[in-house]
């Protein structure tokens, strides 16, 4: 079992603020780290797949970094908008088909 943890559990920010949250994972036998955005009643949407230590990926106002040596990834949102309100999940593959998810960070952007 891979212990994937996310913090904080929930977050409320004002529109226009920038924010970030953390995913931690075991640094041994690392293969990849995935980020997803999950809006209520919709499918989780893949944001990033990160594999290399020091990776930084960007999609619009959202970016993510990866540190495989210390076992963490940060997700940043610049200038948060109400449409960014969602649960953000990270996940890392284990053995076989198992894919270990964190419990998510629930982001609410207040207009």
Partner 1 sequence: SAVISQKPSRDICQRGTSLTIQCQVDSQVTMMFWYRQQPGQSLTLIATANQGSEATYESGFVIDKFPISRPNLTFSTLTVSNMSPEDSSIYLCSVPQGAHGYTFGSGTRLTVV
> Is residue 99 near partner 1 by the rule CB under 8 A?
yes
Rounded Cα distance between 29 and 3, Å, is: 13
3-state secondary structure of 58: strand
Peptide bond into 8 cis (omega under 30): yes
d(CA 27, CA 92): 11
- 43 lines the binding site for partner 1 (CB under 8 A): yes
Selected binder of partner 1 within 19, 71, 102, 105 (CB under 8 A): 102
* C-beta of 33 vs 80, nearer to partner 1: 33
Residue 98 touching partner 1 (CB under 8 A): yes
CA pair distance 14, 44, nearest whole angstrom: 24
Q: Which is nearer to partner 1, 96 or 111 (CB)?
A: 96
Q: Contacting partner 1 (CB under 8 A), which of 28, 52, 70, 97?
A: 97
Cβ of residue 85: shortest distance to partner 1, in angstroms?
A: 17
> Is 36 in contact with 44 (CB distance < 8 Å)?
yes
Binding interface with partner 1 (CB under 8 A):
4, 34, 36, 41-44, 46, 49, 89, 91, 97-104
């Amino acid at each position: 079992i891979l212990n994937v943890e996310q913090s904080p559990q929930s977050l409320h920010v004002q529109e226009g603020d920038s924010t970030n949250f953390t995913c931690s994972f075991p640094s041994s036998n690392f293969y990849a780290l995935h980020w997803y955005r999950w809006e209520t009643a919709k499918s989780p949407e893949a944001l990033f797949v990160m594999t290399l230590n020091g990776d930084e990926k960007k999609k619009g106002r959202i970016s993510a970094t990866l540190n495989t040596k210390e076992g963490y990834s940060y997700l940043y949102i610049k200038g948060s908008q109400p449409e960014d309100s969602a649960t953000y999940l990270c996940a890392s593959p284990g053995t076989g088909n198992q894919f270990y998810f964190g419990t998510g960070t629930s982001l609410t952007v207040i207009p």
